[in-house]
Amino acid sequence: MKFATAPAPHWRPAADVAAVMRQVLYALAPAVAAYTFFFGPGLLLNIVVATAAALATEALALRLRARPARVFLSDGSAVVTAVLFAFCLPPLTPWWITVTGIVFAVGVAKHLYGGLGYNLFNPAMAGYLVVLVAFPGKMTMWLPPTTGDLDYQSLSLWQTLQYTATASLPAGFEFDAVTRATPLTVVRTELGLMRTMSEIRVNPVFGDFGGVGWEWIGNFLTLGGMWLLYKGIIRWQIPAAMIVSLMACALVFYLTDPETHPSPLFHLYAGGTLLGAFFIATDPVSSTVTDRGRLIYGAGCGVLTYAIRTWGGYPDGVAFAVLLMNMAVPLIDRHTRPRIYGH
Amino acid sequence: MSTAWTYNPQPPRPDWGVRAPALKKLSLRQPIRAAPLPVEASMSLQIGGSIELPAIVAPGDRVQTGQAIARNTDGMAVHASISGRVLAVGPQRAPVASGRPVPCVVIRAEGPEQMHGSCIPVNEDLLSPEEIRARVAAGGIVGLGGAQFPTARKLTPGVPIRALIVDGAECEPWITCDEVLLRERAGMVIEGVGVMMRALGTDHAVVAVEADMPEAHAALDNALGAGGSGGIGIAVVTTKYPAGGERQLIEMLTGDEVPAGGLPRDIGYVCQNVATAAAVGELFRSGRPLISRIVTVTGGGIAEPGNFEARIGTPIRDLVQAAGGYRAAPHRLLMGGPMMGFALPDDDLPVTTATNCLVAALATELAPDRPEMPCIRCGECVQACPARLLPHELLTAVRRNDAGRLAEFGLRDCIECGCCDYVCPSYIHLTARFSAARGRERSRA
Ligand code: SF4
Ligand code: SF4
């Protein structure tokens, strides 16, 4: 009897790249739901726009680079980039901003560097940075959370869609009236005005320790992160190092003067910390490969996030921190190379 | 020489390697069965891929079981595994990775089985280490773990040996030949270990078994008597692939690493497989040279999986018949396990001393064919690699064929275990490329 032959090993992993990407999307789902609950349907629209634009850009790039489109489009990496990118955007974001960011993310940060696996920078963060720099005003204005005693006018799906499509709100709504600064921006501006944390904390965007809504989104992001850890998709070193180092920095300054420095817990739940720790900094392609390297890389992300939030020019620092650490990856990898057996 | 040496009966859990489904139960349901004597046996005269023994019989000669049919100047021999007439001496197909024919002696069974007069028991206590080695070579004993290295050579260390390490950590999925051997013939293993210790002049030996082999462990305990006798101990290693790899096992048991490019004896250890030890035991107790081995015949494509004591040279298809034949159309026939075994093109090949296992694997039992994706730098391969290489970097070096980088990233330190492939979500054929690159390097050298 004759048989087919193939080189060893004859077993491979159960999960391929597409399965890994699917798990990341599942893990994000609870946080997406929480985000939508607190800040309206804007995120869903942004996800749709970003995903469509990401797939279109990916298809075009693959075509230009003469790569098999079917295989690579179905690997799910473009969708993950799109969802993570959309997650960073304010609920009210005109579609062209989303498209600009995603085209840069997928077209430049990913494909110009050689496509899946070769990008130096995390595409979602690179795209986010571009729109943050290009459209600074729009990027920090958030909707007020739907819970809490805020005098907000909530927007329906249709009204959000209208804004996303045209960047103008229906008659009777004013952009400035329906949006609020994010807690990080509030802290930043008010501290700049020499207010103390206890004065700042009465602002209704604050909840128990973080921002209203952000606290729950943070919890669900953590839940998603736990799922990825459980599934073995990510390893604990990067999230742990990033969270611990950020909170450690925050604690030092908080202890020196709690009136001018937000608490470690606030930092943990603010802005992109948890998204960054579990979903962004853990992006395999643009992070380090060894456990020791991951600890250094994660710690770098945490410290830089704190530094940029506190002394930099932007309210949040996660995107900058991750991109800066991306650049350090080759160096970290070189210096954390394990000693080969027997050498 | 007798140095103080201790081992850790519960070695540390390694952070390398993979936990793959063991699938051992399939072939552990029945005790070892004797495979029927073959009508025609084709015995390879090539040992371990490099040593070729000249035949000392010619077509038409009558041979008896256990009679030497090839011998080299080192005194190393190959023996007739059945009684009959030599049919042919020359290149024949054999289950070797190269796929090229190897020099063989083909014997056709004739008349009743008769042991050759040279097969007589010997008391090793009366022999010097030198004489023990000569007898092991003349008995045709080679490493039965798959490497086929001449055992007599391994018993000639040239340096003081701290301990003999006996490898019963059968870490590859599906394979159970060593486990059943320990369960049923632990005494023979221990006898062989004693002989080898004497040849090596060491007072220490440790038999390593995996944590999921309680019966084998108990049988060894029994054979040793309470408290472990004669300097032989038992160590239980984590059930993990490749815990049974020579270098990995030494690292776990002793904390020492075999130096790059070196051998275990450079750090005072000699590693032997349990089946090799049993073959040595058998050679001294009953005088029987290496004419048979235990082969696991298993996989979803086999009707009655189990372990068979098969004469060397038995056609694989006969062995499959003995195991009830194929149950469903197997997708691949593996010699060895799923991690390092190689896929045979057909079953019209003889059992060799390297045939520890035959797996008739159904398509559902193997990895689906998926296209290779680019490396996403997930680091899974780094985590899994027992040699602590960076397989993804080594891959780049292989692709660029950059000799400097190949050396820097340790191509020569790769043990071709397959762990990196097993965890790679991009389905990259890392191991096959590393093997090919090593082959190229060897042929250049
Ligand atoms: S095949 Fe080589 S590179 Fe791959 S895990 Fe094994 S030793 Fe490491
Ligand atoms: S496991 Fe595969 S994808 Fe991951 S780093 Fe290694 S080679 Fe790259």
pLDDT digits (tens, 9 = 90+) for B238-297: 999 999 999 999 999 999 999 999 999 999 999 999 999 999 999 999 999 999 999 999
Element at B168 (helix H, strand E): strand B163-168
CB atoms within 10 A of CB B215: 15
- How far does residue A164's CA lie from ligand 2's centre (Å)? 39
Q: To test ligand 1's pocket by mutation, which of B388, B411, B420 has the most ligand atoms within 8 angstroms of CB?
A: B420
Task: Look up residue A299 and give its two tokens.
Answer: 């710690």
B338 to chain A: closest CA residue: A10
Confidence check: pLDDT of B48 > 50: yes
Q: Which of A71, A284, A341 sits opposite B257 (nearest CB)?
A: A341
Q: What is the ipTM of this complex?
A: 0.91
Task: Look up residue A208 and give its two tokens.
Answer: 């128990």
Which residue puts its alpha carbon closest to atom 5 of ligand 2? B377
Confidence check: pLDDT of A168 > 90: no
A305 or B147: which leads in pLDDT: A305
Predicted TM-score of the model (pTM): 0.91
Mean pLDDT for the stretch of residues B377-387: 95
Farthest-apart Cα atoms in chain B, separation: 63
Q: Which of residues 71-130 of B touch A (CB under 8 A)?
A: none
CB atoms within 10 A of CB B28: 18
A253: CB partners within 8 A, 6+ apart: A261, A310
Q: Which of residues 272-291 of B touch A (CB under 8 A)?
A: none
Element at A200 (helix H, strand E): helix A197-200
What pLDDT band is residue A152 in, cutting at 50, 70 and 90? low
Confidence check: pLDDT of A325 > 80: yes
Determine how β-strand B269-273 pairs with β-strand B163-168. parallel
Percentage of residues in chain A with pLDDT exceeding 70? Answer: 98
What pLDDT band is residue B3 in, cutting at 50, 70 and 90? low
Distance CA A271, CA A283 (A): 18
Q: Which of A10, A13, A342 sits opposite B257 (nearest CB)?
A: A342
Give the atom of ligand 1 at the shortest distance from the alpha carbon of B418: 1
Alpha-carbon distance values, A202 to A69, A250, B47, B253 (Å): 53, 21, 83, 63
**CB atoms A17 and B426 under 8 Å:** yes
Q: Please indicate whether residue B392, judged by its CB atom, sits closer than 6 Å to ligand 2.
A: yes
Q: Does B407 touch chain A (CB under 8 A)?
A: no
Q: Which of residues 307-326 of B touch A (CB under 8 A)?
A: 317, 326
Q: Which residues line ligand 1 (CB under 6 A)?
A: B 384-387, 389, 391, 414-420, 430-431, 434
Q: To test ligand 1's pocket by mutation, which of B434, B435, B441 has the most ligand atoms within 8 angstroms of CB?
A: B434
Q: Which residue has the tokens 């469509």?
A: A52
Distance CA A166, CA A159 (A): 11
Distance from CA of B66 to the nearest CA of A (A): 31
- How far does residue B380's CA lie from ligand 2's centre (Å)? 6
Give the atom of ligand 2 at the shortest distance from the alpha carbon of B395: 7
- How far does residue B395's CA lie from ligand 2's centre (Å)? 9
Element at A330 (helix H, strand E): helix A318-335
Q: Which residue has the tokens 């009558």?
A: B62
Confidence check: pLDDT of B333 > 70: yes
Task: Look up residue A86 and give its two tokens.
Answer: 């959309």
- How far does residue B334's CA lie from ligand 2's centre (Å)? 25
Q: Please indicate whether residue B114, judged by its CB atom, sits closer than 6 Å to ligand 2.
A: no
**CB atoms B374 and A118 under 8 Å:** yes
Alpha-carbon distance values, A217 to A20, A34, A212, A283 (Å): 22, 5, 9, 20
Counted across chains A and B, CB pairs separated by less than 8 A come out at: 161
Q: Which of B260, B342, B424 sits opposite A343 (nearest CB)?
A: B260
Contacts of A8 in chain B (CB under 8 A): 336, 338-343, 416, 418, 431-432
Q: Does B338 touch chain A (CB under 8 A)?
A: yes
Q: Which of residues 231-270 of B touch A (CB under 8 A)?
A: 247, 251, 257-262
Q: Which of A67, A283, A340 has the highest number of chain B CBs within 10 A, making it the mutation to test binding with B?
A: A340
Which residue puts its alpha carbon closest to atom 4 of ligand 2? B378
DSSP string, A234-252: S-SHHHHHHHHHHHHHHHH
What is the predicted pLDDT for the residue at B13? Answer: 87
DSSP string, A242-286: HHHHHHHHHHHHHHH-TTTS--HHHHHHSTTHHHIIIIITT-TTT
- Using DSSP, state whether A340 is helix, strand or coil: coil
What are B76-129's pLDDT values in tens digits? 999 999 999 999 999 999 998 888 999 999 999 998 999 998 888 988 888 999
CB atoms within 10 A of CB A6: 17
User: Which has the closest alpha carbon to B139: B61, B196, B57?
Assistant: B196
Q: Which of residues 130-189 of B touch A (CB under 8 A)?
A: 173
What is the predicted pLDDT for the residue at B2? Answer: 46
Which residue puts its alpha carbon closest to atom 5 of ligand 1? B385
What are B214-230's pLDDT values in tens digits? 999 999 999 988 555 67
DSSP string, B346-362: BS-SB--TT--EEEEE-
What pLDDT band is residue A18 in, cutting at 50, 70 and 90? very high
What pLDDT band is residue A288 in, cutting at 50, 70 and 90? very high
Contacts of B252 in chain A (CB under 8 A): none
Element at B63 (helix H, strand E): strand B62-63
Mean pLDDT for the stretch of residues A31-58: 95
